[in-house]
Every structure is written in C-alpha cells, then in structure tokens.
Structure 1
Amino acid sequence: MKTPALVVTAFRHFDNREGFSLLHDHCLVLNRVQCGGDDGEPVWGALDAHRLCRHVVAAGTLYTS
C-alpha cells in the first residue's frame, strides 16, 4: 500500500534572528504514515527519516519551484 501524501505545514518568516530582512519559509513534515499491515488493513507508523533526509535537497528544490 503506497502512502497517498505527506502532511506538511509551512511557516513564513520575514527576518532573521538578528532582525534583518530575510524572507524564508520553514516546513514541518509530520512523522506519521499509513501503510498496509500483515493482514492488508491500514496501520499507522513512522516515516523512514533516513530516506527522507537523503532526498532533502530534491524536496527543497520541489518546494521552491
């Protein structure tokens, strides 16, 4: 069973920690996913964070575009 989507929220910031103008976003990915259990019924589990981190540059590029 493939996961249909990720749950992501984005926060837009207009300045950096020093108070200087710097428009940027922060995205938070929910670490929950639904997959098929041994009996074929959907069960909830955690994302494979290692695979997600390996593709962080590609994910950032997709978000920016």
Structure 2
Amino acid sequence: MRKSSVLLIILILCVFIAVPVAADTPATTVTTEPPVTLQPFTAPTTEPTAVPTTEPTTIPPTVPTMVTQPTT
C-alpha cells in the first residue's frame, strides 16, 4: 500500500508541474502569432477610413455660413 500511495503522489506532482509548463509555453506562442497576422489586415482598413473622414470636414464650414445668413 505504501508503494501505491508513493506512486500516486509522484503522479500528482508530475501533473502539477507539467500542466503549468505546458500551459505557459503554448499560450505565449499562440498570443505572439495572431497579432502579427492581424496587423497587416488592420492597416488596409485604416486607409479607407481616412478618406471618408476628409469629406465630412468639408461640410462643417458650410453649416456655419448658413447660420450666419439668417442672423444677418
């Protein structure tokens, strides 16, 4: 009975030691890869967004002019 209990303790210790090491290694590798892949796709999305942002900027100057005419 002592041998079986010692084996169980050794197995439990191996599991506690192996799980954190295995969890840390893939987590770091997986976390590093996706951001690198997402950056190239995010860059093209930012360029088209800059074009529509320029158009609305032209509209505000027209609005103050309209408000000034009725006041005068």
- What TM-score results when the alignment is normalised by the length of structure 2? 0.20
Between Structure 1 and Structure 2, which shows a larger proportion of helix residues?
2
Larger radius of gyration: 2
- What TM-score results when the alignment is normalised by the length of structure 1? 0.21
Q: Which has the higher contact order (CA 8 A, sep 6+)?
A: 1
